[in-house]
Structure formats: structure tokens, C-alpha cells
Amino acid sequence: MRVNNVVTKMNAGEMAYGANLSFPSTTMIELSGRVGFDFVTFDSEHGPFTVDILDDLCRVADMAGLTPMARVPDIEHPTILRFLDRGIMGVTGPHITDGERAQKLADACRYTPRGKRSFGSGRGAYFGDFESGPDYMSHTNDNILVIAQLEDIQVLDNLDNILSVEGIDLFTSGAQDIAQSMGLPGQPNHQRVKEFEAKVRDAVHAAGRKMAEDVMASARAANLFLDGARAFLNSR
């Protein structure tokens, strides 16, 4: 059964590296595997990723030795289930503002007794082709990575409740939406935004939890091309 590269490296105290795609591209996924990345993330909150496309993207990621992950458009259980059933092994839930939403995200991502994920037989579950259902469910639970995105000013009022949810593995930020929630649209580098992020990061660490940036780093696939192309043009 598939193993989550990020979880494996995290447990070994190592950093994992990957590419973040805001557009579907099987070629970019294949290239990411060739250069030695550990994972690829699909920004399905903002990108055009349909369920049928995700099936093929996850299939190529598996063949390239990459762990497929996604930021989902919402944290409703049916939405997340469709991603997991395609083969997604890491889920980032946007706009986690309180403990209730954090628990909802966690419950959607894992099977009982650690969550409330529905059991299906899509490609993410090997089309039902496994010897032991309990072994499959336990292994899958151990290899799903759940990330809560804290990107709203309300988070500061609910940090303790959010951090008390055991089913969340990592936490991440979102400077653009933090800025908007503070009445600072288009100013992700504003000092107030940076102070918010620092306060959240310190609270996460004080609780013995980890930020995503502590264990994984990703480059935007679009920027890998844009920055490389500009460097090439500037060298002429």
C-alpha cells in the first residue's frame, strides 16, 4: 500500500520538498518526480481541478513516486471524500477559524475510530483490492496528512480550541486572506499580518504542534517556470 513521503520524512525529522500546482499538468508532475521532489500539491480551492482530472493526476503522481496532496475548496465531508477517493493523501482545509471547523476537517479525512470518512472502493482505496479491510483502513489513517489553514483574524479568539483537535497534523497560514480579514486587502506583507502569523506560529509551537513550514517546503510550479524563464532572458 502507498506510503506518504511527507509523513515518512516528518517522522524521520527530515524536510520534504514538493511543487504546488494551480493548474492541471501531468507533465509537470512527471518532471517533479524526475528532479527528486517528495510530493505535489494541487490548489483545488482556486485551480480548475475536476474529479476526473484528479484521478489521472494522482495516478501520474503515484507512478512518479510523489505523494499527491490538495488544498480542497471547502471542508464539507462529501467534498473531501471525493479527493481522498481519487488518491489524495494530504488535505489542506481552508479557513479553519475555530475548533468546530478543525474537528470537521479532521473527521472527514480519516476512517473510524480516528474519523468519520466514508468507505468507498475508488482508486484511492485500490478499487477495493486489498486482503484486509481493517489493515487497509489503519494504514491509510496513518498515511493521511491533515493540514489546517489559519487565515482569518477570528483565529486569534479560538486558538486554544483549534490546537486541541488531535486529528490535525499541521497548521499553515494564508497571508492574502489574513490581510483581507484585517481590512488590509492586497497587503500580505503588512506588519499586522506578520504579527498575526508570528503569534499563531508561536502558539502552535507552544502547544507542541508543528507548522507545515517546519516539515515541508513547496515551490509554485508557475514560478519555477516564470523565474527560470526570466533568469534565462536576463542572461542573454
Residue bearing cell 527528486: 36
Closest CA to 175 of 161, 187, 163, 164: 187
Q: How far apart are CA 69 and CA 146, in angstroms?
A: 10
According to DSSP, the β-strands at 210-211 and 216-220 are: unpaired
139 catalytic? Reply is no
Q: Outline where DSSP puts E strands in 102-196.
A: 145-149, 170-172
Q: How far apart are CA 218 and CA 182, in angstroms?
A: 26
Instruction: Please count the helices (runs of H) and the strands (runs of E) in the chain.
Output: 11, 8
Q: How far apart are CA 139 and CA 8, in angstroms?
A: 13
Catalytic choice (46, 77, 190, 205) = 46
Residues near 130 by Cβ (< 8 Å), separated by ≥ 6? 1, 136
Q: What amino acid positions are annotated as catalytic residues?
A: 46
